[in-house]
Amino acid sequence: EVQLVQSGAAVKKPGESLKISCKGSGYSFTNYWIGWVRQMPGKGLEWMGIIYPGDSDTRYSPSFQGQVAISADKSISATYLQWSSLKASDTAIYYCARLPHIVVLTNNLFGGYFDYWGQGTLVTVSS
Amino acid sequence: ELVLTQSPGTLSLSPGERATLSCRASQSVRSNYLAWYQQKPGQAPRLLIYGASSRATGIPERFSGSGSGTDFTLTISRLEPEDFVVYYCQQYGSSPQTFGQGTKVEIK
């Protein structure tokens, strides 16, 4: 059974750093891209970026480039989403999700839909 | 940026009725790269449809997707009690990939 299990909720202050995780199991972790999706309180979904754990190739949505960092550790089947300096506007639920197929887009970007999702990690940033 | 507009914002229907949800794109969605997701309260989204009309693994036959170009539809043939939740469309044919704002299906 394919599973993506995310780290627990985090409460941080503005300016602090944070790294949340997503661990995959039940499939060949290094052979599928993993993406991160943001859902702000009471709002819709936003595509942040994706990573290929096999070689850590990473592509960001233009809106999130430079705002977050996505990384992976294939030895433990984990991917990460990291902030160096959080803002109150980063308060949201963050989901990791697997992409079963990749579509090549313009500007050297990749895309796709998500077939399996993690349970979400609530990040609250408040002073 | 390709904008997806879902309508209606809220759809009020009774169990057993047919639901028709619309997702309209501001420009043509390349190769019909459009997916639909269902999200229940407090849960992650669940993939229903990809490629505009292909049902994902384990999704009941009452869910179907159709459309091409700029107009796409998710149809639920007969609403079950667990279907009264929020639905999102997503295009993955152009960057940035975008989601619609969602349609909530509520019990009338």
User: A112 vs B92: CB contact, 8 Å cut-off?
Assistant: yes
Q: Give the pLDDT score at B12.
A: 97
Between β-strands A3-6 and A69-73, what pairing exists: parallel, antiparallel or unpaired? unpaired
- N-terminal to C-terminal alpha carbon distance within chain B: 35
Span B32-46, mean pLDDT?
97
Q: Give the pLDDT score at A106.
A: 81
What is the Cα–Cα distance from B84 to B81, expressed in whole angstroms?
6
What is the Cα–Cα distance from A116 to A48, expressed in whole angstroms?
16
Q: Which residues of A touch B98 (CB under 8 A)?
A: 47
User: A47 vs B97: CB contact, 8 Å cut-off?
Assistant: yes
What is the Cα–Cα distance from B95 to B75, expressed in whole angstroms?
27
Q: Give the pLDDT score at A48.
A: 95
Q: Chain-wide mean pLDDT for chain B?
A: 97
Amino acid occupying residue A9: A
Q: Which residues of chain A have pLDDT under 70?
A: none
Q: Give the pLDDT score at A14.
A: 97
Which candidate from B31, B35, B44 shows the least CB-CB separation from A95?
B44
What is the Cα–Cα distance from A36 to A93, expressed in whole angstroms?
10
In the predicted structure, residue B46 carries a pLDDT above the cut 90: yes
Q: Residues in chain A whose beta carbon is closer than 8 A to a beta carbon of chain B?
A: 37, 44-47, 61-63, 95, 97, 103, 105-107, 109, 111-115, 117-120
Cα-trace Rg, chain A = 14
Q: Which residues of B touch A105 (CB under 8 A)?
A: 93-95, 97
Interface mutation vs chain B, best among A22, A34, A39, A45, most B CBs within 10 Å: A45
Q: Within chain B, where are the H helices?
A: none
Three-state SS sequence of A21-84: EEEEECCCHHHCEEEEEEECCCCCEEEEEEEECCCCEEEECCCCCCCCEEEEEHHHCEEEEEEC
Q: Of B80, B59, B69, which Cα lies nearest the Cα of B27?
A: B69
Q: Is B90 in CB contact (< 8 Å) with chain A?
A: yes
Minimum Cα–Cα distance from A62: chain B residue: B96
**Structure confidence by residue, pLDDT tens digits, A95-126:** 999 999 999 988 778 899 999 999 999 999 99
> What is the nearest CA distance from B92 to chain A, expressed in angstroms?
5
| β-strand partners of B19 | B76
> What is the nearest CA distance from B77 to chain A, expressed in angstroms?
23
Confidence bin at B9 (pLDDT 50/70/90): very high
Span B44-60, mean pLDDT?
97
Task: State the CB neighbour count (10 A cutoff) for residue A66.
Answer: 8
Q: Give the pLDDT score at A105.
A: 87
Q: Give the pLDDT score at B95.
A: 87
- N-terminal to C-terminal alpha carbon distance within chain A: 40
Q: Is B55 in CB contact (< 8 Å) with chain A?
A: no
Peptide bond into B45 cis (omega under 30): no
What is the Cα–Cα distance from A77 to A6, expressed in whole angstroms?
12
User: A117 vs B44: CB contact, 8 Å cut-off?
Assistant: yes
Q: Give the pLDDT score at A109.
A: 85
